[in-house]
């Protein structure tokens, strides 16, 4: 293994949750361009179909399944469908997520708290558990990549559930990395900084934008495609000795 071949994902099957827009779409397309067969799991049929067409235009086998990651009972069926269509899963990206500005703990509804943790943390655990069991049974190793956040490290006074979930993702990543290392399964996380997506649009168009730019040494927001390099690295043989890491891709935001 040497040179660029270490980053080749040919013959691998990758699954990306929330893969029909934003960061998830960029990662799914990036994996396909690196040679992987790709399945996306997301809730919107129209956006799923659009990204499926993009994946197929790259020339790799692809699949798009409707899945709400908070529907626990549907997860095993989705994993089985992917394995039947594309083969055993080699790469899982737990990307699906949401965020709600509630104003803080004094005003956040319990239902919002429950939904945010279910979407980010519980779904990442359950999907990882199902896929890791399959990886172990097949004995070929694998890669699990969780999506953390800058709020994995900093408090978020206006959305405490999101910060709590993303903070927990870092320790879930480390815990799984320890357990699964003997099976040649590497578990890592990516912590995006301020990336321009539908979910972050309200910040981009708000007075908070000036403070965000001032704190980011790169002096700008990132684009979803700018996470692809880190994700392909963590999904490939190039990162065979990297596990339990949370890699910031943030234009230097976390330096301060």
> Is 252 within a domain?
no
Among 31, 151, 162, 253, which one carries the catalytic annotation? 162
Is 253 in the active site?
no
Give the residue with greater pLDDT, 78 vs 2: 78
Domain count, the chain: 1
Which is it for strands 91-94 and 142-147: parallel, antiparallel or unpaired?
A: parallel
Structural domain span for residue 110: 3-247
Q: Is the pTM of this model over 0.75?
A: yes
Summarize pLDDT for 143-194 with one digit per residue, the tens: 999 999 999 999 999 999 999 999 999 999 999 999 999 999 999 999 999 9
Give the whole-angstrom CA distance, residue 194 versus residue 211: 12
Summarize pLDDT for 19-73 with one digit per residue, the tens: 999 999 999 999 999 999 999 999 999 999 999 999 999 999 999 999 999 999 9
Report whether 234 contacts 242 (CB < 8 A): yes
> Is 254 within a domain?
no
> Is 253 within a domain?
no
> Is 67 within a domain?
yes
Domain CATH number, residue 11: 3.40.50.720
> Is 255 within a domain?
no
Q: Which residues contact residue 110 at a Cβ distance below 8 angstroms, ignoring those fewer than 6 apart? A: none
Report whether 23 contacts 51 (CB < 8 A): no
Give the whole-angstrom CA distance, residue 95 versus residue 43: 13
Residue 3 reports pLDDT greater than 80: no
């Amino acid at each position: 293994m040497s040179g660029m071949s270490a980053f080749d994902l040919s013959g691998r099957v990758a699954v990306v949750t929330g893969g029909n827009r934003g960061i998830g779409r960029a990662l799914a397309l990036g994996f396909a361009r690196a040679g992987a067969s790709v399945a996306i799991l997301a809730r919107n049929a129209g956006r799923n179909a659009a990204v499926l067409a993009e994946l197929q235009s790259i020339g790799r086998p692809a699949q798009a399944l409707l899945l709400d990651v908070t529907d626990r009972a549907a997860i095993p069926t989705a994993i089985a469908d992917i394995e039947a269509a594309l083969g055993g899963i080699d790469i899982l990206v737990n990307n699906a997520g949401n965020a709600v500005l509630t104003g803080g703990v004094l005003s956040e509804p319990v239902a919002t708290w429950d939904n945010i943790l279910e979407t980010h943390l519980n779904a990442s655990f359950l999907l990882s558990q199902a896929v890791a069991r399959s990886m172990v049974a097949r004995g070929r190793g694998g890669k699990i990549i969780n999506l953390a956040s800058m709020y994995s490290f900093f408090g978020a006074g206006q959305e405490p559930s999101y910060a709590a979930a993303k903070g927990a993702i870092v320790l879930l990543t480390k815990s799984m990395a320890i357990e699964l290392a003997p099976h040649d399964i590497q578990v890592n996380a990516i912590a995006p900084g301020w990336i321009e997506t539908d979910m972050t649009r309200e910040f981009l168009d708000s007075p908070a934008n000036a403070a965000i730019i001032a704190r980011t040494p790169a002096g700008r927001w990132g684009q979803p495609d700018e996470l692809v390099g880190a994700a392909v690295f963590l999904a490939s043989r190039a990162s065979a000795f990297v596990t339990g890491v949370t890699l910031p891709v943030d234009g230097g935001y976390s330096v301060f």
